[in-house]
């Protein structure tokens, strides 16, 4: 991001009191790609001149000035951080409040339960946060801010890569890290040794006049750029995924199949730019669902095995293949992923009319209410049934199924375990009009009892029964019967997802982490090694280092480099400045890099 703070040792002329040191500012220039802000005079150009020409000129200056000011603010770090913060705040209601795109029924239930908050949330767009105007505005502004930051920084960084480190300042002893010694080696030998030592430490180095200039740490700025570019990639991937995504759910009973078309889904939602042609052509059938559960201990009832055996084919005439789908192990078909999300039971029932004719025979999936798969649903006989008077009519049965019943007198219809240990089906019966012929969509798992009459016993009580597999409940008045067959099938719920851009989002997030780590932990620094001949004919070696930010590692690194160069250009043995206590055969003293100089 554009940082409004001035870099350490900015591009100002560093001049001493006597005006002799004018190169220190150049030495510290361009250690960062952060743009340097320039002050604008007055009110973007001063007062307005008289006449129409003056008014046009003044208006143009003001418009351009305010546009430049707004652009600088938008591409500054503080505004970008503010936009990131607002984006994260805006995502909170999308997680806490029901969203129309994911569950419209929950949104309607919230509206019905909250007569004041519901309409207010709707006006604020909190039921569709990610497509709301205010969230999109934050998103677009952040995107523009990142682009406006990356483009100039990238140009500056490329220019710095192509340029060479600047010449050494006149007074190296004014830099934060400094070392010096005198040697008998020629200045040319010292510079040659410096080039080799700096090259071994992966510095970019070259000779400028009487000194070697070297630079290292470009990965800091590269990491900064990678981080910003990765954020843009993540934003684009997120937008791409939201616009072209699709997500549908389908409940499939053992023995049944599914084809990836819109009419086959129980519910389906997609992005604004998604079309039917984007659906990947495939089909599959559920051969068998297998679920086993912990029998004892604190995790009793927890699934141990949870898998669905499928036979699938790609395309209209693809070869059939068999596979197994488990939780978090989806089936990949082209750009689609098929996830196993839930499971339940589908008791098989047979309904007969008063003459014994079978009018309905099928496995009816019921929806689980708890972790022990206590299930509830409806059995609807829509066609082919005639009552005792011979008139066409419809039958409906409210059903509650428990795979493990506690037993008569031991509790209500709540399952004690998710496996089929003691299955029981509780029914009550209705006849009349189910309301399915009105052309209005209805819930197949619920009965619309508005136009239905409930069957009653001879004593006037409501007709209901608890059936075990093989038992039959007879309807009074010659209306027929319903039998709970011994075959109990299972069903599996699948979620078919197409989420383009997810790979790019993952790659962008990984790149952002590495880029941020590089920008935080790599230091951009420069080193100079000057070798000149003194008045007494002895070579004077000076080394100095400068980093973008102050760091204790810089003097240590300079000391290590000084030791390498000192091996090739050792301290003059008869130098009066050398250590007088050093033994003649001892290793020559290696000068340590000093800390910041006291002025």
What proportion of the chain, given as a percentage, has pLDDT over 70? 86
Which residue range forms the structural domain that includes residue 513? 225-244+501-517
Give one word for 15, left, alpha or beta, with left for phi > 0 and alpha for psi -120 to 50: beta
Tokens standing for residue 13: 């002329």
Instruction: For residues 545-555, give the mean pLDDT.
Output: 83
Give CA–CA dist 86/90, Å, rounded: 6
- Examine the pLDDT at 345 and tell me if it is beyond 90: yes
Q: For CA atoms 225, 228, 234, 235, give the dihedral sign.
A: negative
Rounded Cα–Cα distance for residues 505 and 196 (Å): 43
Identify whether residues 141 and 264 lie together within a single domain. Answer: no
Q: Which of 6-20, 120-134, 486-500 has the lowest mean pLDDT?
A: 6-20
CA angle centred on 372, ends 368 and 374, rounded to 5°: 40
pLDDT tens per residue, range 358-412: 999 999 999 999 999 999 999 999 989 998 888 899 999 999 999 999 887 776 8
130 shares its domain with 231: no
* Residue of 484 and 130 predicted with greater confidence: 484
- pLDDT at position 20 is 44
Between 207 and 67, residue with greater pLDDT: 207
**Do 192 and 111 lie in a common domain?**
no
pLDDT above 70 (res 537): yes
Flag whether pLDDT at 579 surpasses 60: no
Average pLDDT, the chain: 85
Identity of the highest mean pLDDT range in 4-13, 55-64, 436-445, 570-579: 55-64
3-state secondary structure of 369: coil
Q: For the chain, report the end-to-end CA distance as a whole number of angstroms.
A: 34
What is the average per-residue pLDDT within 202-213? 93
Range scoring the smallest mean pLDDT among 5-14, 25-34, 519-528: 5-14
The reported pLDDT for the residue numbered 167 is 92
Closest CA to 591 of 552, 542, 525: 542
- Is the CB of residue 546 less than 8 Å from the CB of residue 526? yes
Give the C-alpha separation, 243 to 270, whole Å. Answer: 8
Q: Model confidence at 531, in pLDDT bands (50, 70, 90)? A: very high
User: Residues near 108 by Cβ (< 8 Å), separated by ≥ 6?
Assistant: none
Percent above pLDDT 90 for the chain:
51
Co-location of 234 and 316 in the same domain = no
What separation in angstroms does the CA of 211 have from each of 33, 125, 241, 268, 567?
Answer: 26, 65, 55, 71, 18
Residues 561, 417 share a domain: no
Task: Specify which residues 247 forms β-bridges with.
Answer: 269, 497
Taking residue 45's Cβ as centre, other Cβ atoms within 10 Å add up to 15
Q: pLDDT at position 15, please?
A: 40
Higher pLDDT among residues 15 and 593, named by residue: 593
If phi > 0 it is left, if psi is from -120 to 50 it is alpha, else beta; for residue 7 that is beta
Higher confidence at residue 564 or residue 9? Answer: 564
The answer to whether the beta carbons of residues 597 and 546 sit under 8 Å apart is: no
Q: Kindly compute the dihedral angle of the four CA atoms of residues 155, 161, 164, 169, in this order, to the nearest 10 degrees.
A: 70
Residue 53 lies in a domain: no
Question: Are both 470 and 505 inside the same structural domain?
Answer: no
Angle between helices 104-113 and 117-124 (to 10 degrees): 130
Determine contact, residues 464/397, Cβ cutoff 8 Å: no
CATH code for the domain of 181: 3.30.310.80
In a domain, 207, yes or no: yes
Q: Is residue 348 pLDDT above 90, yes or no?
A: yes
How does residue 43 score in pLDDT terms, banded at 50, 70 and 90? low
In this predicted model, what pLDDT tens digit does every residue of 302-340 receive, in sequence order? 999 999 999 999 987 889 999 999 998 999 999 999 999
Flag whether pLDDT at 344 surpasses 90.
yes
Number of H helices, E strands in the chain: 10, 22
* pLDDT at residue number 76: 82
Please state the pTM of the whole predicted model: 0.68
Residue 27 lies in a domain: no
Lowest mean pLDDT among 149-163, 396-410, 471-485: 149-163
Which residues is 525 bridged to in the sheet? 216, 547
Handedness of CA 145, 150, 153, 159 (dihedral sign): negative
d(CA 285, CA 225): 49
Task: Compute the average pLDDT of residues 95-113.
Answer: 83
551 found inside a domain: yes
Q: What angle do CA 493, 340, 304 make, to 5 degrees?
A: 110
pLDDT in the model for residue 589: 47
HSE, CB side, 13 Å, CA atoms: give it for residue 202.
5
Query: What stretch of H or E contains 219?
Result: helix 218-244
- DSSP code of residue 45: S
Among 492-501, 520-529, 579-588, which stretch is predicted with the lowest mean pLDDT?
Answer: 579-588
Question: Do residues 538 and 398 both lie within one domain?
Answer: no
pLDDT per residue as tens digits for the range 291-309: 999 999 899 999 999 999 9
Confidence class of residue 24 from pLDDT cuts 50, 70 and 90? Answer: low
Does a structural domain hold residue 385?
yes
Residue 6 reports pLDDT greater than 60:
no
Asked whether the CA dihedral 152, 157, 162, 167 is positive or negative, the reply is positive
The tokens of 81 are what?
A: 């951080």
192 inside domain: yes
Q: CA angle, corner 330, sides to 489 and 498, nearest 5?
A: 110
Burial 440-451 (b: 16+ CB within 10 A, else e): eeeeebebbeee
Burial 79-109 (b: 16+ CB within 10 A, else e): bbeebbebeeebeebbeebbbebeeeeebee
Residue length, the chain? 599
Residues 234 and 287 grouped into a single domain: no
How many C-alpha atoms does 242 have within 13 Å on its Cβ side?
Answer: 15
Domain count of the fold of the chain:
4
What is the pLDDT confidence band of residue 106, given thresholds at 50, 70 and 90?
A: confident
Residue with tokens 């990610």: 130
Distances (CA, A) of 334 to 315, 331, 485, 500: 10, 10, 40, 11
Note the pLDDT of residue 416: 93
Cβ–Cβ < 8 Å for 593, 213: no
- Rounded to an integer, the average pLDDT of 167-171 is 92
Residues 316 and 431 in one domain: yes
| 33 lies in some domain | no
Cβ atoms within 10 A of the Cβ of 535, count? 6
Task: Supply the pLDDT for residue 13.
Answer: 38
Domain end (from 490, 517, 544): 517
pLDDT at 3: 45
Contact 361, 379 (CB under 8 A): no
pLDDT, one tens digit per residue, over 184-201 is 999 999 999 999 999 999
Evaluate if residue 598 carries a pLDDT over 70.
no
Nearest to 379 by CA among 478, 452, 286: 452
Pair 494, 508 in one domain: no
d(CA 164, CA 26): 12
Q: Residue range 70-76: average pLDDT?
A: 85
User: What is the structure's pLDDT at 206?
Assistant: 94
Q: Which residue's structure tokens are 């293949």?
A: 321
Instruction: With respect to residue 7, please indicate whether it lies within any of the assigned structural domains.
Output: no
Q: Say if residue 455 is in the same domain as residue 427.
A: yes
Question: Per DSSP, what are the bridge partners of residue 470?
Answer: none
Q: Quick one: 423 and 345 in the same domain?
A: yes
* pLDDT interval class at 42 (50, 70, 90): very low
Q: What is the pLDDT of residue 107?
A: 87
């Amino acid at each position: 991001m554009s940082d409004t703070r001035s870099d350490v040792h900015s591009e100002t002329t560093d001049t001493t009191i006597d005006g002799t040191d004018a190169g220190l500012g150049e030495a510290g220039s361009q250690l960062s790609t952060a743009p340097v802000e320039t002050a604008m005079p007055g009110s973007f150009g001063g007062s307005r001149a008289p006449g129409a020409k003056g008014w046009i000129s003044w208006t143009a200056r003001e418009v351009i000035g305010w546009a430049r000011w707004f652009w600088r603010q938008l591409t500054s770090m503080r505004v970008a951080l503010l936009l990131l913060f607002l984006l994260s705040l805006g995502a909170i209601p999308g997680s806490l409040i029901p969203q129309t795109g994911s569950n419209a029924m929950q949104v309607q239930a919230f509206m019905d339960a909250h007569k004041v908050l519901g309409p207010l949330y709707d006006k604020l767009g909190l039921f569709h946060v990610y497509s709301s105007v205010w969230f999109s505005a934050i998103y677009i502004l952040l995107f523009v801010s990142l682009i406006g930051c990356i483009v100039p920084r990238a140009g500056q960084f490329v220019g710095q890569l192509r340029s060479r480190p600047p010449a050494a300042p006149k007074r190296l002893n004014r830099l934060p890290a400094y070392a010096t010694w005198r040697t008998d080696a020629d200045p040319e030998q010292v510079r040659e040794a410096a080039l080799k030592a700096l090259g071994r430490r992966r510095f970019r180095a070259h000779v400028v006049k009487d000194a070697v200039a070297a630079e290292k740490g470009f990965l800091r700025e590269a990491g900064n750029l990678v981080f910003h570019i990765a954020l843009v990639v993540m934003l684009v991937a997120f937008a791409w995924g939201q616009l072209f995504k699709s997500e549908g759910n389908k409940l499939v009973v053992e023995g049944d199949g599914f084809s990836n078309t819109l009419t086959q889904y129980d519910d389906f939602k997609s992005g604004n730019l998604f079309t039917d042609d984007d659906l990947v052509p495939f089909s599959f059938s559920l051969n068998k669902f297998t679920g086993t559960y912990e029998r004892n201990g604190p995790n009793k009832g927890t699934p141990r095995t949870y898998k669905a055996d499928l036979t699938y084919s790609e395309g209209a005439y693809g070869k059939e293949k068999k596979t197994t789908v488990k939780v978090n192990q989806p089936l990949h078909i082209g750009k689609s992923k098929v996830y196993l999300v839930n499971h339940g039971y589908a008791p098989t029932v047979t309904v007969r009319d008063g003459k014994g004719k079978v009018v309905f025979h099928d496995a009816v999936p019921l929806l689980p209410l708890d972790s022990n798969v206590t299930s509830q649903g409806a059995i609807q006989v829509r066609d082919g049934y005639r009552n005792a008077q011979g008139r066409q009519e419809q039958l409906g049965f409210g059903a509650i199924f428990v795979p493990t019943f506690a037993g008569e007198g031991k509790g209500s219809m709540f399952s004690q375990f998710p496996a089929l240990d003691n299955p029981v089906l509780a029914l009550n019966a209705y006849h009349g009009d189910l309301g399915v012929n009105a052309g209005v969509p209805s819930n197949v798992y619920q009965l619309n009892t508005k136009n239905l009459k409930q069957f009653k016993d001879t004593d006037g009580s409501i007709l209901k029964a608890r059936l075990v597999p093989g038992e039959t409940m007879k309807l009074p008045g010659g209306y027929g019967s319903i039998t709970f067959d011994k075959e109990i099938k299972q069903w599996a719920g699948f979620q078919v997802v197409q989420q383009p851009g997810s790979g790019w989002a993952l790659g962008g997030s990984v790149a952002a982490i590495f880029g941020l780590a590089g920008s935080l932990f790599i230091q951009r620094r420069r080193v100079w090694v000057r070798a000149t001949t003194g008045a007494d004919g002895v070579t004077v070696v000076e080394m100095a280092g400068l980093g973008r930010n102050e760091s204790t590692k810089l003097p240590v690194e300079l000391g290590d480099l000084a030791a390498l160069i000192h091996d090739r250009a050792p301290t003059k043995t008869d130098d009066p400045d050398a250590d007088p206590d050093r033994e003649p055969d001892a290793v020559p003293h290696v000068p340590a890099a000093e800390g910041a100089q006291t002025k």
